[in-house]
Chains A and B, each alone.
Chain A
Amino acid sequence: MGFEVLFKGKNLIRLLGGVGVAMKISAVSVLISIVLGIVIGMIMTLKNPVIRAVTRVYLEIVRIMPQMVLLFIVFFGVTKLTGLNLSAEAASIIVFSFWGTAEMADLVRSSMISIPVIQYESSAALGLTKLQTYLYVIIPQIIRRLLPLSINLITRMIKTTSLIMMIGIVEVLKVGQQIIEANRKSSPHAAFGVFAVIFLLYFLVCWPISKLAGYLEKKWEN
Chain B
Amino acid sequence: MSEILRVEHLKKSFDELMVLDDINLSVQRGEVVVIVGPSGCGKSTFLRCINGLEEIQEGRVLLGDEVINPAQKGTNKHREKIGMVFQSYDLFPHKTILENTTLAPQKVLKRKKDDAEKEALELLDRVGLASRKDSYPRMLSGGQKQRVAIVRALMMHPEILLFDEVTAALDPEMVREVLDVILDLAKQKRTMLIVTHEMAFAKAIADRILFLDGGQVIEDGDPKQFFESPRTERAKKFLSTFEYDRS
Contact = CB atoms under 8 A, between A and B. Distances in A.
Interface stretch (B33-41, B85-93, B217-225, B232-240): B85-93
B94 A121 contact: no
A125 B51 contact: yes
A119 B76 contact: no
A118 B156 contact: no
Contacts of B75: 124
Interface string A118-154: 1101111111110010001100110010000000000
Interface stretch (B101-109, B173-181, B187-195, B196-204): B101-109
A124 B53 contact: yes
B80 interface: yes
Interface string B69-84: 0000001110110111
B94 A127 contact: no
Chief secondary structure at chain A's binding surface:
helix
Contacts of A125: 51, 53, 79, 82-84, 86, 153
* Residue among B77, B104, B149, B156 facing the most chain A CB atoms (10 A cut-off): B104
A21 to B, nearest CB: 39
B94 A124 contact: no
A141 B95 CA distance: 10
A220 interface: yes
Given A128-B76, A132-B108, A119 B94 contact: no
A218 to B, nearest CB: 13
B30 interface: no
B230 to A, nearest CB: 32
B137 interface: yes
Contact of A127 (B79, B88, B90, B92): B79
Given A124-B79, A126-B108, A136-B107, A220 B84 contact: no
B156 to A, nearest CB: 6
* Residue among B79, B86, B93 facing the most chain A CB atoms (10 A cut-off): B93
B12 interface: no
Contact of A118 (B80, B82, B88): B88
B152 to A, nearest CB: 7
A48 interface: no
Contacts, number: 66
A222 interface: yes
Interface size class of A (residues with CB under 8 A): 20 to 34
A144 B94 CA distance: 8
A144 B86 CA distance: 24
B104 A126 contact: yes
A143 B21 CA distance: 42
A23 B138 CA distance: 39
Contacts of B137: 222
A132 B104 CA distance: 9
Nearest to B162: A125
B136 interface: yes
Contacts of B53: 121, 124-125
A218 B93 CA distance: 14
B93 A121 contact: no
B90 A128 contact: no
B104 A119 contact: no
A137 B92 CA distance: 7
Contacts of A144: 94
A129 B108 CA distance: 8
Shortest Cβ-Cβ A-B pairs, 4 listed: A127-B80, A126-B104, A122-B90, A125-B84
Given A128-B104, A137-B92, 5 more contacts: A121-B53, A124-B79, A125-B84, A127-B104, A128-B76
13 contacts: A118-B86, A122-B90, A122-B149, A124-B52, A125-B82, A126-B80, A126-B152, A126-B153, A127-B77, A136-B103, A141-B92, A141-B93, A144-B94
Interface of B: 51-53, 75-77, 79-80, 82-84, 86, 88, 90, 92-94, 103-104, 107-108, 136-138, 149, 152-153, 156
